[in-house]
Each structure stands twice: as C-alpha cells, then as structure tokens.
C-alpha cells in the first residue's frame, strides 16, 4: 500500500526513550475509511505508535507518514488525538472547554459538540475539576470527535471506566464518526468489547508489529475471536523469543 492510499504508514519506525526501546523497526500501513484497533498487552508500544502518528513525538529512526506526508509538528492540524492522560483545563466549566476548542481549532464543529454533550448527558455549567472520571472521559470524547479531521487517534478510551460509561463511549463512536471520510485508530487492551466496531486490527507486542488483518478475515480464516487471535500470536512471539535465546 502506497503512502497516498494509506492514512498512516510506518517505515522502519523505531523509538527509544533513553535506553528503553518502545517501538522497534515497525513497518506497516493503516487503510483509510476504517476503524482500526491497535491491540496488545499493556506496555507493548501502542501509545508510542499513536503519539508518533500524531506528531507529538519524533521517531529515533525511520519515518511515519500521515495522508501521504511525513509527520512533523504541522501534521497536528489534520489529526484529532485523544490521550490517555488528563488533558483538559480543570478551572474551566464544560461550556468554557467547548468555547476554548472553538477558538483553538478551526476544524471544531460546535453543532456536533452540542449534540454529543446532550447525547452523553454533559451540562455546560459543570466544572471540569468536579467531573467524575466517567464524565471527564465523555468530555474528552466530545472534544476529540467534534474536530472534523480525516484521522482520529484514541489512546485507551475505555481504560478504567465502568461498563455503563464504556457503553456510552462505544455508542458515540458509532453515532458520531463518519467512516466515509474519517479513519479512527484506537489503542486498547479491552479487545472483546471493541471487537464489534473494528474493521482492521493491528497487534503490537514488545514494540513490534506482530499481526495485521481484517476482523472478517480473522473470523473466517482463523475461526476465532480477536482475543484468541491476539493470545495465540503473543504466545508464538514469546516461544520464538525463548528459542532464539537458547545457545546450541
């Protein structure tokens, strides 16, 4: 797949943080107009790959392409990124947060934000610092999905949330993402829960891309769920690593 056809393309991408190797020689493409699940155990490199694609960090070596362009700081205007950390100003109200986003992002759709706020039961006057974890996560989702960008990156959007909040977030992804022109890449270890949403899935283990396939193909050819597919590939990688370390 060429850089023009792929929304994201990694080309021998490696990222180190000091002595820690977070991503190791990853090459692969994510197609346009789909929902891609970036799955793998905690600490496998999922967040680092998303931040590389968002232009928040630079690769130690190799390249990352988004929509045919090498990623740099300017690429952020075409990418909406939902981090796994608290990223909203605590001294704002919900309404002030939305107003700030209107001013900060030319691609922010206020009407869409208001619809999402109603859908997710968020009130304008609530102070961000007083929001529950679930409502805080809902507001982050509103801020992310209300930007009209061709690429949406979401880092562990379901992590640590109760089942009802996760359910509302999944419904929002169905309701407010237009896959006719948008691509969503979301990282998660809550694999079974997001499986019905996904078109493609990429497995990351110990900083390496160990598998990439369509969900339909995994079900048809492997006759298994994503969880079982992931577990089998991770186990295979562990066994290969173990045999490779044995001297003969």
List pLDDT tens digits, range 215-227: 998 888 877 788 8
For the full predicted model, state whether its pTM sits above 0.75: yes
Rounded Cα distance between 217 and 194, Å, is 17
Q: Check residue 246 and give its pLDDT.
A: 38
245 pLDDT tier (thresholds 50, 70, 90): very low
Q: Which two tokens stand for residue 1?
A: 């797949």
- Identify the three-state secondary structure at position 93: strand
pLDDT greater than 80 at residue 2: no
Give 43-69 pLDDT, tens digit per residue.
889 999 999 999 999 999 999 999 888
Q: What is the pLDDT of residues 85-131, one digit of tens each?
A: 888 999 999 999 999 999 999 999 999 999 999 999 999 999 999 99
- 158 pLDDT exceeds 90? no
Is 213 strand, coil or helix?
strand
Choose the weakest-confidence range: 75-79, 150-154, 191-195, 199-203.
Answer: 75-79
CATH 3.40.50.300 fits 6-243, yes or no: yes
What secondary structure does DSSP assign to 19-50, as a single string?
A: TEEEEEEEEEEEESSSEEEEE-STTSSHHHHH
In this prediction, what percent of the chain has a pLDDT beyond 70?
A: 92
The per-residue pLDDT for 93 is: 98
Most confident of 141-150, 162-171, 204-213: 141-150
pLDDT digits (tens, 9 = 90+) for 132-152: 999 999 999 999 999 999 999
36 band by pLDDT with thresholds 50, 70 and 90? very high
User: Could you report how far apart the first and last alpha carbons of the chain are, in Å?
Assistant: 40
pLDDT of residue 154: 95
Q: What percent of the chain has pLDDT over 90?
A: 57
pLDDT higher at 232 or 27: 27
């Amino acid at each position: 797949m060429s850089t023009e056809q792929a929304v994201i393309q990694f080309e021998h991408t490696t990222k180190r943080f000091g002595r820690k190797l977070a991503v190791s020689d990853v090459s692969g493409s994510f197609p346009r107009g789909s929902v891609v699940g970036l799955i793998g155990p905690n600490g496998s490199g999922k967040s680092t790959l998303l931040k590389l694609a968002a232009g928040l960090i630079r690769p130690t070596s190799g390249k990352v392409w988004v929509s045919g362009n090498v990623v740099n700081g300017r690429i952020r205007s075409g990418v909406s990124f939902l981090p796994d950390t608290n990223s909203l100003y605590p001294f704002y109200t919900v309404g002030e947060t939305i107003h700030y986003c209107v001013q900060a992002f030319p691609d922010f759709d206020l009407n869409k934000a208001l619809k999402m706020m109603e859908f997710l039961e968020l009130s304008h006057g609530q102070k961000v610092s007083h929001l529950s974890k679930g409502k805080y996560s809902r507001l982050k989702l509103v801020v992310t999905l209300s930007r009209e960008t061709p690429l949406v990156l979401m880092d562990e959007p379901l992590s640590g949330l109760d089942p009802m909040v996760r359910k509302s977030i999944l419904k929002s992804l169905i309701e407010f993402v237009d896959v006719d022109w948008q691509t969503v890449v979301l990282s998660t270890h809550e694999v079974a829960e997001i499986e019905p949403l996904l078109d493609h899935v990429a497995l990351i283990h110990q900083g390496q891309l160990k598998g990439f396939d369509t969900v339909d193909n995994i079900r048809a050819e492997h006759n298994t769920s994503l969880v079982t597919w992931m577990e089998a590939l991770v186990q295979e990688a562990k066994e290969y690593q173990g045999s490779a370390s044995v001297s003969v």
